[in-house]
Amino acid sequence: MAKLTENSNSFSEKVTPDFNSMIKILFWNSMGFFFFNFMVPYVTGQLMDASGTQLGFMFSAFTIGAIISTPLVGYFTDRSSKKNLVLFGSIGRGISYIWMYITILFRSLIGFTGSMLFLGMSVGVFWPPFNALVSEKSNKENRSTAFGKSYGKMGIGNLVGACIGVPIFVVIDNFFPGLEFIQYSPLLLYAISNFYAGIYFSKNVDEDLTYDRFLNSEVESLPQQNMEKLSNSEEDVKEFLKSEPLKEPFFKNMPKGLAFGLLLMILGMFFANMNESMAYPFLQAYLTANIQDNATIIMLIYFPSGILTLIISPKIGELCDKINLPLGVALSSFLGALTTFFLIRTDSEILFSLLLIIDSTLATAGGLILQNVMSRVNKTNRGKLFGLQGWLGRLGGVLGPIIGGLAWDKFGTQSPFIISIFVELALIPIFILTLKTLEPVMEEKISKK
């Protein structure tokens, strides 16, 4: 067990002893992410001949599934076993991959849409309790780093899974076309990895061990003279542990300032999710229509941005913990809009890939900052807050692909990205006002930087 030391900078001493075991689930869960994200537009567009509007509805089915499950899961996260919810979400993902594999063999657009819906429901079950656990098991001053470490595990899992699935896909696509039962067989492997992930998580994580409790046990073991030298964050936890958490319903007696701040946050997440889902599903179709139509080359263009950003997420998280949060949000949104502008102005495969890496890095930084903020609002209701954020935010994720698909069909291949640029710029004042409004009423205060 890590020992508490005066003013320690070691990340291992800013989380619970089982934190690293907990985030290992993401390695196994994420093995199919890159393959899946590449496969969906390819399968629907090439095998099932879906239009831009149908592709938009396909991605909306995933989001609708998450909307169905997220609000209930957010409520139960604070009242039941978080481990069991994460287990159910992981197993659900595995089932959805098997479902996808079967519908691909039968080339059933309706069946594939059903599998996307079920996958969205499983994802909605998985993330609120997992994010709540990450928050509970980490120090507030290292929260972005903690979420970044989680993303890093996803990146490594992405890399390993892609190294297995991509060669199978490429070899079959180029030398044995038509053998779809082999070409998409990695989906079965990813299903097994998700089953294993859920079981591993259930056996190796102590959901009752929070960072506050771990820190308190370490504080009590220190000599009296060392207790007087604790850092401010550790002293805050010590004082917090002297009193019982508030038990009244969180949303019933919410202060007006907090209610307004959360409303702004939810509004911002709504438009942020709409913006991301408006453009992302059409990146591959845009590449095919304007730059490169070879499936293997397109996959190679995608590969760095889909994995590299996640692998370096721990470093991105460390940076986010050190900068002023409103400034970080403003910069990530402005530079993200600028990157999207250059993305649709290039016809170079290499430059397109580099811009995708930059865009993905900026999006990750913005996401880590917002997760950090949401985790600080109220300690005892994190599940409800993450669930509410995810649910209402995903409503934007339903509209985004539909708007993007209609724009694609009516106004051309650049239109979803042009709309996305203006939406991202409009998010800057919304998120800055959100942070300024929430800062005075947060239970875990933001340190001045």
Helix residue spans in 205-290 (DSSP H) = 211-220, 224-227, 232-240, 256-279, 283-290
Question: Minimal CA–CA distance to 360: which of 341, 394, 326, 335?
Answer: 335
Q: At what angle do helices 52-77 and 33-42 cross, to 10 degrees?
A: 140
Q: What is the DSSP letter of 44?
A: I
Low-confidence ranges of the chain (pLDDT < 70): 1-10, 217-254, 392, 446-449
Contact residues for 73 (Cβ-Cβ < 8 A; gap 6+): 85, 124, 125, 128, 129, 383, 387
Can you tell me whether residue 313 is helix, strand or coil?
helix
Compute φ and ψ for 138, nearest 5 degrees: -140, 155
Q: What pLDDT shows up at residue 245?
A: 47
Nearest to 78 by CA among 376, 443, 378: 378
Q: For residue 448, what pLDDT is reported?
A: 57
Give me the pLDDT at residue 33, please.
87
Can you tell me the distance from the alpha carbon of 208 to that of 213, in angstroms, rounded to the nearest whole number?
9
State pLDDT tens for residues 307-346.
Answer: 888 888 888 888 888 888 788 888 889 999 999 999 999 8
pLDDT tens per residue across span 239-285: 444 444 444 455 556 677 778 888 888 788 888 888 888 887 788 78
Residue 32 corresponds to which tokens in the numbers above? 């199919």
d(CA 241, CA 255): 23
**What pLDDT sits at residue 1?**
41
